[in-house]
Structure 1
Amino acid sequence: MRNIKQRMMDIGDELIPGLPEEIALECLTRSHFTTHRVAARVSRRWHRLFLSRHFYNLRKLSGRTHKAVFAVQSLLQPVSDEAKSAAPIAFGVSAFDPATGNWTRIKPIEKYPNGLPLFCRIIGVDGKLAVIGGWDPVSYRPVEDVFVYEFAAEKWRQGKGMPEKRSFFGATEYGGEIFVAGGHDEGKNAAASAWVYNIRNDEWRELPAMSRGRDECEAVAIGSEIWVVSGYETENQGNFERTAEVYETKTGKWRRVESAWCEERSPRNVVGVGREGELFNWATAAAAAKTTAVTGEGIVGVNMEEKAIVFMGRNGVFMGECQNGKLERIELPEEFSGFVQSACYTHI
């Protein structure tokens, strides 16, 4: 923590005139994240401070960050009964604060004012949100777009696009970076390639390829390893494999794991990680908890450390103690009852 504070002191002029730097920094780290947008306008020094990764790390180490859940969720369109069947489905980013129970909507991305790319992935990393890939909501063509949301500025910025256009890939965060693997290209050929996006440097780097293509796979981080679970090769479309490929970040090598996914359905959004590092299925966990009449359709689970949020399509949204605890229904406003395609959480 001392090194982080020293970096803050090296940024420029006094943070708060008349106060020692450490005391001024201590005061600012105690501010609630909802005040950061206004605070960042006080001065150039404060602007750099509130948007810096070092300030975020200091707040996190001090236990002053705030956990929130974010979902790519369908928006309810105010249309007449005659037009309902023809109305296109549009998606936005919804935010849920587990501490207060409040729901809010993140402002639209300027490039997509009428709805996010379909099937895009949302990933939380270092107190930011990243929206990656998907299909253009008008042309239904895959896009390589990357957008990053800065909470202190309340603004989206466009990042460097993915090296390849792809859809239905696995994506997860580890070590402040986003790992992307598998999916399929514009010709619907299953991809074996994998990439890492450094959100701070706005750079992509290529990883060694997996041993085979994995379309409709899912990626999760377990310890220092990236697990790319199930999926299928081009010629086996829809026949989900039981295997996984594991990227060891310390060695830079892949290994294959048999019987990692013992399900016949897509692993997308339903692969969870238990306290002992084991994989589980959110649909199975929800059914075992006897929450409601649950089907696998539309389930999106989010491990939020000691808590879990599970979106269950038409059944609603539930919160509980990871995969083994009882899931309780969350009351939510009608405008936040839409279908969820992707979800994550992050400290902000």
Structure 2
Amino acid sequence: MVTSKKRVTKSSHKCHGLLIPGLPSELAIECLVRVPYRFQSGLKSVSRSWRSLLSDSSFSRERMRCGRAELLLCLVQPLTPPNPASKAVGETLLVEAEDESPQTRVSVTPRFGLSVYNAKMSTWNRVALPDHQQIPLFCECVAIQTSGKILLIGGWDPETLRPVSDVFVLELAGEGSGRRWRKGASMKEARSFFACATVGSTRVYVAGGHDDQKNALRSAEVYDVERDEWSCLPPMTEGRDECQGLAMGPKIAHLHSGPLSARGFCVLSGYGTESQGRFRSDGEVYDPASNSWSRIENVWPFSDTSPRGRIAGEIRGSSSKLWCFTDSELKWETEDDSRRWKLDLESIQSPVTGSSFYAGSYGGEAVVMIGGGSESEGRGTMVRKTSEGKWSRVHEIPFGFSTLPFSHASISV
């Protein structure tokens, strides 16, 4: 405990005097880590020492160590008309609906938004891009926990409906604290409906999807978040549109590598250009150590169902576990042809039958959102599968946030 506090103190306010006059630094930090995240942007304007402390990544780690961190679920989802007003994650975040006459509503291309559910505060909010920019349709959302970043990658241009290579970065740590967006380096290739996952602490992998002619892509890239650089990877053996990406651990971790650096990138299922809608049962795994792909069989034996929005997963040590939400129940495991990567899979039924739903991972547990996208459908709801295998109701989703998302990521702040 003392070591952690000293680390925060030395890196944050050594040159700026006491954080709170009359209090030892350790007690001052104990006070500040207990302030809810939504007030932190205001705290940074108090003094240089407070801004330095709250902008340091060690402050977030201290909040997690003390059990004061707030888990955010970030969702890229269609907006329900009328569109709620947007504010920054670090602000009070009240969502206000504008009056709109039913006679004035017209059928247009749906707009997408970035919604944030705070589990600790039980609040729903929306984050806007700066300068009235629109979030790309069907973009991928990923989180970088170590640096406190949310990334929106690729998708469709809201006006032309063509795939884009854009990357938007939301800084949840550092000077911005939920108010600072920046444009990241663009991908080498525009793509949408692709596989995407954070692997390790600073890298995001993408592969597959389709181009502006709806051709399934074999290409793959990796983004170094700290350097803001994209690099090309060897292409996959198959073009895979509408595929699902995930990080996975090896069966046996390298003796000289940490658990994060030893992880690989799995591209699950998808379909080729000539077989749209018929999902493959296999996948491919990229091994960063060998810079090569290997095939993994029998990972998605549901040819008429997309894996997107039906998979939740976790990595614990060298174990990679997937929950597949389908109409049947079975368990199986599979290895790739290099025998380095192994997946344990469990197919389970949705906790609510007859409803539209979206499944994903949230804080290491499986979570399922049940849709309620229109006034006639009412509000949606959220349930989670605990480590004991039981389902529990988490939260009723307010109208305006209950449309099913396209992609999601979770991060602690």
TM-score scaled to structure 2, two decimals? 0.73
Q: 2:211 aligns with which of 167, 172, 185?
A: 185
Q: Which residue of structure 2 lines up, in the alignment, with residue 134 of structure 1?
A: 155
- Amino acid in structure 2 at the alignment position of 1:160: A
Q: Which residue of structure 2 lines up, in the alignment, with residue 14 of structure 1?
A: 17
CA deviation vs aligned residue, 1:206-246 (integer Å, no higher than 9, x gap) = 33322222111100122322211001222332221100111
Q: How many angstroms does 1:293 deviate by?
A: 1.6
Tell me the secondary structure at the aligned position of residue 396 of structure 2: coil
Distance in 1 separating the partners of 2:167 and 2:59:
24
Q: 1:331 aligns with which of 385, 390, 396?
A: 396
CA deviation vs aligned residue, 1:140-198 (integer Å, no higher than 9, x gap) = 12221111112314222221122211111111122223221111122322222222223
- Amino acid in structure 2 at the alignment position of 1:280: W
Q: 2:164 aligns with which of 143, 148, 162?
A: 143
Q: 1:300 aligns with which of 341, 349, 358?
A: 358
Q: How many angstroms does 1:22 deviate by?
A: 5.1
Q: 1:318 aligns with which of 382, 405, 413?
A: 382
Q: How many angstroms does 1:4 deviate by?
A: 9.1
Distance in 2 separating the partners of 1:28 and 1:307:
29
Q: How many angstroms does 1:24 deviate by?
A: 4.6
Say if 2:16 and 2:48, in contact at 8 Å, map to a contact too. no
Residue 408 (structure 2) pairs with residue 343 (structure 1): yes
Say if 1:306 and 1:322, in contact at 8 Å, map to a contact too. no
Q: Which residue of structure 1 lines up, in the alignment, with residue 200 of structure 2?
A: 175
- Amino acid in structure 2 at the alignment position of 1:281: C
Residue 98 (structure 2) pairs with residue 94 (structure 1): no
Tell me the secondary structure at the aligned position of residue 117 of structure 1: coil
Say if 1:272 and 1:303, in contact at 8 Å, map to a contact too. yes
Q: How many angstroms does 1:10 deviate by?
A: 4.3
Q: Which residue of structure 2 lines up, in the alignment, with residue 196 of structure 1?
A: 222
Distance in 2 separating the partners of 1:327 and 1:62:
25
Q: Which residue of structure 2 lines up, in the alignment, with residue 155 of structure 1?
A: 180
Residue 349 (structure 2) pairs with residue 288 (structure 1): yes
Tell me the secondary structure at the aligned position of residue 330 of structure 1: strand
Say if 1:4 and 1:54, in contact at 8 Å, map to a contact too. no
Say if 2:140 and 2:152, in contact at 8 Å, map to a contact too. yes
Tell me the secondary structure at the aligned position of residue 51 of structure 2: helix
Say if 2:239 and 2:271, in contact at 8 Å, map to a contact too. yes
Unaligned runs of 5+ in 2: 83-99, 250-262, 330-346
Say if 2:76 and 2:407, in contact at 8 Å, map to a contact too. yes
Say if 1:69 and 1:346, in contact at 8 Å, map to a contact too. yes
Moved more, 135-144 or 189-198: 189-198
Name the structure with the higher helix share: 1
- Rg larger in 1 or in 2? 2
Q: Which residue of structure 2 lines up, in the alignment, with residue 205 of structure 1?
A: 231
Distance in 1 separating the partners of 2:247 and 2:68:
24
Percent of aligned pairs with the same residue?
34
